[in-house]
Amino acid sequence: MSEYVIGIDLGTTNCALAYAKTSTLDDVAHAVELFYPPQLVNPGEVAELDLLPSSLYIPGESEFVEGSLALPWDPQPQFIVGRLARNRGVENAGRLVSSAKSWLSNQSADPTQPILPLAAPEGVSKISPLEASRQYLAHLKHAWDAAHPQLPLASQSVLITVPASFDAAARDLTQRAAGLAGYPEVTVIEEPQAAFYAWIERNPNWREQVKPGNLILVVDIGGGTTDFTLIAVTEKDGELQLERVAVGEHLLLGGDNMDLAVARYAETQFSQRGSKLDVMQFHSLWQQCRTAKESLLSNDPNAPSEVPLTVLGRGTGLVGGTLRGKLTRDEVRKLLVDGFFPEVTADAAPQRQRRAALIELGLNYASDPAVTKHLAHFLRQAGASRGESFAWPTHLLLNGGVLQAGAIETRIHEVLNQWLETADAPPVIELVNKTKQTDLMHAVAYGAAYYGLARTGKGVRIRGGVPRTYYVGIETSLPAVPGIPAPMKALTVVPFGLEEGSSVELPQRKFALVVGEPAEFRFFSSLSRKSDPPGALLDEVTDELEELSPIEVFLPPNADGSGEEVVPVTLESRVTETGMMELWCVAADGRRWKLEFNVRERAAAA
């Protein structure tokens, strides 16, 4: 057994690392500690901070004095990661990589290809979102190893968090990034669950705060995503149990959207004075607004009431052409609270905006920025899956840096309680961490480490398993019709809630597998269909199913190398302890072919 369990929050805006000794006594309350990774804060200055900003800066040749970027483990790093990268990117956005995590789940671009920074000028080498994620994880590994030379991270038990709505592809890319960074085989845990584990770790009396029949809503609003999760409190043999019963859709809606909204608002100050910002100037303003928002919305009593903005001119006369503006706390709070958390009714739904046929390459942000509309939609969907019109939560746990703003937290409570009042239900009870403001930034890492202890039997585990139902496409055997592809059916291979380390055999159905030539496998998933049992065959692919990128593979034929062969097979599916999903095709003669749900790559292991 490893000496430590390590929980890592690989966040869109910030990364955090927490750890606990596996030798911890049975009372694991407050057993988790926070690690402070060293990082550059200025050229030539290294400091240990509680967070590692998820920012990567690609330095230009001769941009920094030789030796000024040295780290304790690397005298000449290729990239700058962390606080200095974020600060430098405010001045030169064309060399800054941010929000790399959001690209891991983007269906419109290959996250293994060098596409960041999007605004990079000619001559700046780009990197892939996968590589950026590797760099953040590598920095944390090197920092840990420098502090624990006798107990390197590669020999510890490591858990990395992902949004609950991440599909199998994005989860796999996260694990790949960890592998490339020199990590051992890592376990993936969903961020809302990790936040809830942190609450348990901070509240040893949690059993006194909830009871069977309670429904706990976890709202996690981070830098790039918004996650909703429902956890039911049940009872078995006199013991309280926790079960994750619903997960929201993948929403690229969070702090990044809010930063952009603030930047667009600030841009009007300059346009009203006759100054139009170009792309590079606006990206600089965007990065400044990110920093300004965090400062203005802080609950720190010494936080400023306004923040200055400075945009350098372009071309000659840069100093004389410098543009200046400011943002006030009241402006930012009104913009974000009313714009992203409007007061809506329980039957509200997010609006789908009509989009142009051609759009710029970028992240697939949620079309409607109203978080409260998405929340109402989620609770209706969750209720429908339980045979009810709405899922009425009894408790609320908030998490994410965005929720450090007290005004946003208050608005969520107001809206949710208005919905509950219409149903004659009591107001929601908030579950509060003892060190709430700190835990909003660190809870996910804390919870991941606590879950690592829980896996060894030293803590409470939330039953949940796979957050989606997964299907494989089965082509219908019908006569060919010119111009019309054969209809596709969908076979349930991984049911909703299948626990890690579990497998499912489907011997009752046989299919024909083509080997010896390139073949394509199509996969689908669904958040709304939670009751389809393994082996259930849907006669058609409906809108409830989301198609994932297909896998193109070459499955080897007989050992004698003979050509194409059609082999009758049955199917087996398995979810590994690390959350990886596998599909096996098993022939009667004992041959087995494995497909991993690595749907981003155009090849799979066979």
pLDDT digits (tens, 9 = 90+) for 272-299: 888 888 877 887 788 788 778 877 877 6
Is it the case that residue 448 has pLDDT exceeding 80? yes
Tokens 């009007």 belong to: 268
DSSP 71: B
Q: How confident is the model at residue 5 (pLDDT cuts 50, 70, 90)?
A: very high
User: pLDDT at position 68, please?
Assistant: 96
- The rounded distance, in Å, linking the Cα atoms of 585 and 507 is 11
Is it the case that residue 402 has pLDDT exceeding 50? yes
- The rounded distance, in Å, linking the Cα atoms of 291 and 283 is 13
472 has which bridge partners?
A: 491, 523
Number of neighbouring beta carbons within 10 Å of residue 411: 20
**Alpha-carbon distance values, 148 to 34, 57, 141, 306, 537 (Å):** 14, 27, 10, 42, 52
Q: What does DSSP say about strands 157-162 and 4-10: parallel, antiparallel, or unpaired?
A: parallel
Is the C-alpha dihedral spanning 301, 304, 306, 311 positive or negative?
negative
Share the mean pLDDT of the chain: 85
Is it the case that residue 240 has pLDDT exceeding 50? yes
Q: What is the DSSP string of 287-356?
A: HHHHHHHHHHT---TT--SEEEEEE---SS-TTTT-EEEEEEHHHHHHHHHHHHS----TT--PPPPP--
- The rounded distance, in Å, linking the Cα atoms of 437 and 348 is 30
Highest mean pLDDT pick, 140-144, 449-453, 602-606: 140-144
User: pLDDT at position 317, please?
Assistant: 47
- The rounded distance, in Å, linking the Cα atoms of 84 and 79 is 11
- The rounded distance, in Å, linking the Cα atoms of 160 and 163 is 10
- At position 58, the amino acid (one-letter code) is I
pLDDT digits (tens, 9 = 90+) for 181-191: 999 999 998 89
Q: How confident is the model at residue 483 (pLDDT cuts 50, 70, 90)?
A: low
- Phi, psi values for residue 449, rounded to 5°: -65, -40
Average pLDDT over every residue of 231-255: 86
pLDDT digits (tens, 9 = 90+) for 326-336: 999 889 888 99
Contacts with 276 (C-beta within 8 Å, 6 or more apart), sequence order: 270
- The rounded distance, in Å, linking the Cα atoms of 50 and 52 is 7
- The rounded distance, in Å, linking the Cα atoms of 507 and 305 is 66
Name all domains of the chain by residue range, CATH numbers in brackets: 4-189 (3.30.420.40), 255-340 (3.90.640.10), 469-596 (no CATH)
Q: What is the DSSP string of 349-379?
A: -PPPPP--SS--S-----S---HHHHHHHHH
Number of neighbouring beta carbons within 10 Å of residue 28: 20
Tokens encoding 340: 């992203």
Give the H/E segment covering residue 519.
strand 518-521
Residue (of 150, 186, 137, 194) closest to 3 by Cα position? 150
- The rounded distance, in Å, linking the Cα atoms of 329 and 305 is 5
Is it the case that residue 238 has pLDDT exceeding 80? no
Residue (of 446, 474, 450) closest to 461 by Cα position? 450
Number of neighbouring beta carbons within 10 Å of residue 262: 24
Is it the case that residue 147 has pLDDT exceeding 50? yes
Average pLDDT over every residue of 358-375: 76
3-state secondary structure of 160: strand
Residue (of 578, 438, 455) closest to 33 by Cα position? 438
User: pLDDT at position 318, please?
Assistant: 45
Expressed in angstroms, the distance from the first to the final Cα of the chain is 31
User: pLDDT at position 293, please?
Assistant: 81
Q: Please answer whether residues 542 and 533 qualify as being in contact, where contact means their C-beta atoms are separated by less than 8 angstroms.
A: no
